[in-house]
Amino acid sequence: MSTIKEFHRQSIDQPDVFWAEQAKLIDWETPYEKTLDFSRPPFAKWFVGGRTNLCFNAVDRHAAKRPDARALVYISTETNEEKSYSYAELKREVERTAAIMQSLGVGRGDRVLIYMPMIAEAAFAMLACARIGAIHSVVFGGFASGSLATRIDDATPKLIVSSDAGMRGGKAVPYKHLLDEAINLAGHKPAHVLMVDRGLDPAFNRVEGRDVDYATLRQQFLDAEVPVTWLESSEPSYILYTSGTTGKPKGVQRDTGGYCVALASTMKYIYCGGEGETMFSTSDIGWVVGHSYIIYAPLIAGMTTIMYEGTPLRPDAGIWWKIVEDYKVNVMFSAPTAARVLKKQDPAFMHKYDLSSLKHLFLAGEPLDQPTHEWIMGELNLPVIDNYWQTETGWPILAAMPGVEQTKIKYGTPSFPVYGYNLKIFREDGSECDANEKGIVGIVPPLPPGCLSTVWGDDDRFVSTYFSLFREPLVYSSFDWGIRDDEGYHFILGRTDDVINVAGHRLGTREIEEAVQGHSAIAEVAVVGVADPLKGQMPMAFAVVKDASRVATAEQRLALEKEVFKKVDESLGAIARPSRVHFVTVLPKTRSGKLLRRSIQALAEGRDPGDLTTIEDPAALEQLKQALGV
Ligand code: ATP
Ligand code: MG
């Protein structure tokens, strides 16, 4: 075993040798001729000339060797269903769905938009697309018509796969009317809509000639055998739109061979999961974590993957840990927001179950604050690994890599640059930062295999968005601030556009948040910059207190606000002191746990908060409005 440093250095100095070794982790129909073609920077093509297929690697090769091994477990605490599929059964279901798609005219290179809840059929649909070389574009089943329409127009799908309804907190959330409205709004019209009818919304509208029923067609194709379509490594596998936290969503285009190799390598070096083991990612297929670590990577590694429909708190706060015990989960992947939700519950729920199968818990998607990291690691008594990445990269940029070397876990940091990423921290003039100097996290291209190959249909936007930070050198910008300490651990300090400019002083929202959170009464906080006629901008804080009785009266609120001011003054100086600290019980977040900063800021400035359909809890917005008096 080498050290992380050597491992990383080899991946950067000799990418050909390094990635050729990783490419052996997957099956190729035709071997590639060249590991990397970087003749047209920043566009990189990996494993040129090689032909492979994501579905073959995720399903067929395991179905051939271990047909009865468990591949997919679908658990819904919403409908109280639990169903397992072996690799052989998964292959049959995928072939049926693939045959349905082909019968509807879908073929290689065609787009299929998937707008579905977390049900097994959504996984079949994704894998069926991969099987026949169609490009899927999963849209989180929670987006409303407007957001969906934009994505329909951008991806121009021939087919949309959907369902009558999702379920949340025990209630049906109808999808179909949102979809119909989206298709009405969109300029592009799909030829067909394939409906998985869960019987949750019996009255849903059916459009004659366009809408077709999944169960009926599945019956017609029960015995279908659909051979895989071999794709050249760089052919697109899917499009996935970024969250849009900072602006108009970008259609991230993913390749096939590079993505497959990269995911396989992460299962070995980062997530440490293999054949016969079980992975439980609590994300949603609408997000990149869901694509990579609910569907593709665990299956490519021959694991059992768990697809969970439900919240972490129903029927009670022990549900995730019960799943860990029931299925002997070895690798778990969740988000910091979920950890913070669980932190507010009685830890007895966690200790009730046998968690001894669990090797690691991975958390990603947003900054993992130190107190939460420390808390959950203490409660679980196992390594909790923060990993930093983006929809664009498809797999971690920064992480600990226990499959390479056991390194000390430091709270509040996603550790080290992952192999393949020539990551550097840059000053705004393009020069490199020293240790302990804050700068912009950048990646010197070529981006490693599996990262976005371009923005769908818009090569110019790919270059102008991601590679135009400096004229020299050519660098992929993450739009995140970061810092590296003396030991090489990296910290993410928030997004570059989350900077607040107070009378010429540039302050990161994350730094102010950490300072506010330094007060022992505060559980969680969001800080945004609000336009100020005098100072340009002023930070404003919205804080959740651990014990609501501390802010029951106006006097108490004022007193605590003063204490928080003092805390900020002490750690950052009075310049960073928020104009106000508003106390709320819940913050507006997307269901993937990202703070809706743009919306908070817009409300605070009296502007339209924009698309709020993915909000986790609408009550959060009401509280905000009340606090602001708007
Ligand atoms: P858009 O790019 O459209 O604004 P988005 O950036 O929110 O949307 P994602 O790709 O889902 O969309 O999120 C990636 C971002 O999430 C990262 O750039 C970073 O800001 C944040 N992030 C993810 N993981 C971590 C982590 N472990 N620590 C800190 N921040 C993280
Ligand atoms: Mg982003």
pLDDT in tens, 348-370: 999 999 999 999 999 999 889 88
Q: In this predicted model, which residue has the larger pLDDT, 150 or 33?
A: 33
**pLDDT for position 181:** 95
Say how far apart CA 512 and CA 516 lie, in whole Å: 6
**pLDDT value for 590:** 81
| Residue ID of nearest Cα to ligand 1 atom 24 | 365
The DSSP code for 574 is: G
Residue 591 has pLDDT above 80, yes or no: no
Ligand 1 binding pocket includes 246 (Cβ within 6 Å): yes
- The string of pLDDT tens digits covering residues 504-514 is 787 878 888 98
Contact assessment for residue 252 and residue 240, using Cβ atoms and an 8 Å cutoff:
yes
pLDDT, position 446: 97
492 ligand 1 Cβ < 6 A: yes
Q: Who contacts 621 (Cβ-Cβ below 8 Å, separation ≥6)?
A: 588, 599, 603, 609, 612, 615
Peptide bond before residue 315 is cis, with ω within 30 degrees of 0: yes
CA–CA separation, 550 and 557 (whole Å): 8
The closest alpha carbon to 112, from 83, 84, 132, 95, belongs to 132
**Residue 3 CB partners (closer than 8 Å, separation 6+):** 404, 405
What the block records as the tokens of 539 is: 């930070």
Q: What is the pLDDT of residue 1?
A: 52
How far away, in angstroms, is 242 Cα from ligand 2 center?
Answer: 6
Identify the weakest region by mean pLDDT among 107-111, 235-239, 588-592: 588-592
393 lines ligand 1 (CB under 6 A): no
* pTM for the model: 0.90
Q: What percent of the chain has pLDDT over 90?
A: 80
Q: Give the span between the Cα atoms of 481 and 500, in whole angstroms.
A: 13
Region 266-278 average pLDDT: 98
Q: How far away, in angstroms, is 389 Cα from ligand 1 center?
A: 7
- Residue bearing tokens 């949603």: 284
**Do 242 and 374 contact (CB within 8 A), yes or no?**
no
For ligand 1, is residue 443 a contact (CB within 6 Å)?
A: no
What is the C-alpha separation between 322 and 280, in angstroms, rounded? 12
> Regarding beta strands 476-484 and 439-444, do their DSSP bridges make them parallel or antiparallel, or are they unpaired?
antiparallel
In this structure, are residues 51 and 29 in contact, taking their beta carbons and an 8 Å threshold? yes
Q: Average pLDDT over the chain, rounded to whole?
A: 94
Range with lowest mean pLDDT among 243-257, 294-308, 428-442: 243-257
CB atoms within 10 A of CB 162: 27
**Span 186-211, pLDDT tens digits:** 999 999 999 999 999 999 999 999 99
- CB atoms under 10 Å from CB of 597, counted, come to 21
Q: Does residue 251's CB lie within 6 angstroms of at least one atom of ligand 1?
A: no
> pLDDT tens for residues 473-504?
899 999 999 999 999 999 998 888 778 888 77
Which pLDDT tens digit goes with each residue over 452-470? 999 999 999 999 999 998 8
- Give ∠ CA 288-289-293 in degrees, rounded to 5: 125
pLDDT in tens, 505-564: 878 788 889 889 889 999 999 999 999 888 889 999 999 998 989 999 999 999 999 999
Q: Give the span between the Cα atoms of 598 and 473, in whole angstroms.
A: 30
Which residue, among 424, 430, 420, 429, has the nearest Cα to 490 in the 3D structure?
A: 424
Question: Ligand 1 centroid to 223 CA: how many Å?
Answer: 43
Question: Quick one: pLDDT at residue 247?
Answer: 62
Distance 43 CA to ligand 1 centre (A): 22
Q: Is the CB of 388 under 6 A from ligand 1?
A: yes
Given the structure tokens 């059992």, which residue do they identify?
304
SS3 string, 29-64, reads CECCCEEEEEEECCEEEEEECCEECHHHHHHHHHHH
Q: What is the DSSP letter of 622?
A: H
> Is the sign of the CA dihedral 18, 66, 112, 117 positive or negative?
negative
- Per residue in 8-45, pLDDT tens? 999 999 999 999 999 999 999 999 999 999 999 999 99
pLDDT band at residue 402 under the 50/70/90 scheme: very high
**What's the rounded mean pLDDT across residues 214-230?**
98
Tell me the C-alpha to C-alpha distance, in Å, between residue 451 and each of 126, 130, 137, 240, 476: 19, 17, 16, 12, 11
pLDDT band at 299; cut points 50, 70, 90: very high
Instruction: State if residue 418 touches ligand 1 by the CB under 6 angstroms criterion.
Output: no
498 Cβ inside 6 Å of ligand 1: no
- β partners of residue 385: 362
DSSP letter for 5, please.
Answer: H
